[in-house]
Amino acid sequence: MNNILRVALPKGRLGEQVYERLDKAGYSCPEILEQSRKLVFENLDKGVRYFWVKPSDVAVYVERGAADLGVVGRDTLLENSPDIYELLDLKLGKCRMSVAAPEAWRDDASRALRVASKYPRIAARFYEARGRDIDIITLNGSVELAPLLDLSDVIVDIVETGKTLVENGLRVVEDIVPISARLIANRAAYHFKHGELETMTAALRKGIDA
């Protein structure tokens, strides 16, 4: 009998888009689309079990082997460096990690730059590579507020449409890295369920090219 693949999907719009891809790739589980508070769904005929997981927790489930596969944004991978295999760029959830600041902001190299971010490691690495001294202020959300209240000079954050920046009088100063959703696998599962994992990855890859 084939091994069941346990897949952690990020709860929300991205997860729904990923499920659509999985459905087309032959891993359907229609019950998952019914509005409910249920978190685990399976279709044993197709050899899959899906979990709805908070997006920022997906890599934890995969790294520790509670899920064989998962879908996470590249931002999470760069920030947390989980010990997993990255299998595929799903080319969904595309956005960028950028530095943004108020329209009138000009850098003053004579003092440490105050940087607010949900991504302190990405921000620290970016400025370290340029030898720029920074004071990192870690926040959990609505980071755009920080420069408006003079908590920080700039922010390092995700920019998708740019609407949040514009509506708060901010502009992109420079882009750090492009972001998109990635299919990741648990390292042990990658070896023990290699056939099943490769079959699913190949089917998903076809869906991207189509």
Which stretches of the chain bind ligand PRP, using CB under 6 A? 141-144, 157-164
- Minimum Å gap between C-beta 167 and ligand PRP is 8
Question: Residue 37 or residue 163: which is nearer to ligand PRP going by CB?
Answer: 163
Question: Residue 157 or residue 196: which is nearer to ligand PRP going by CB?
Answer: 157
Measured from the Cβ of residue 107, the count of other Cβ atoms closer than 10 Å reads 12
Sign of CA dihedral 95, 73, 82, 165: positive
Strand partners, 115: 136, 154
- Minimum Å gap between C-beta 171 and ligand PRP is 12
Question: Residue 66 or residue 145: which is nearer to ligand PRP going by CB?
Answer: 145
Question: Residue 68 or residue 144: which is nearer to ligand PRP going by CB?
Answer: 144
- Minimum Å gap between C-beta 45 and ligand PRP is 36
Question: Residue 88 or residue 99: which is nearer to ligand PRP going by CB?
Answer: 99
- Minimum Å gap between C-beta 87 and ligand PRP is 25
In angstroms, rounded to a whole number, what is the distance separating the alpha carbons of residues 178 and 98?
A: 9
Q: Which of 204, 104, 99 is nearest to 143 (CA)?
A: 99
Angle, helices 194-209/13-24, rounded to nearest 10 degrees: 100
Radius of gyration for the alpha carbons in the chain, expressed in angstroms and rounded: 20
DSSP state, residue 81: -
Q: Which DSSP string do the residues of 109-121 spell out, in sequence order?
A: TTSPEEEEES-HH
- Minimum Å gap between C-beta 159 and ligand PRP is 5
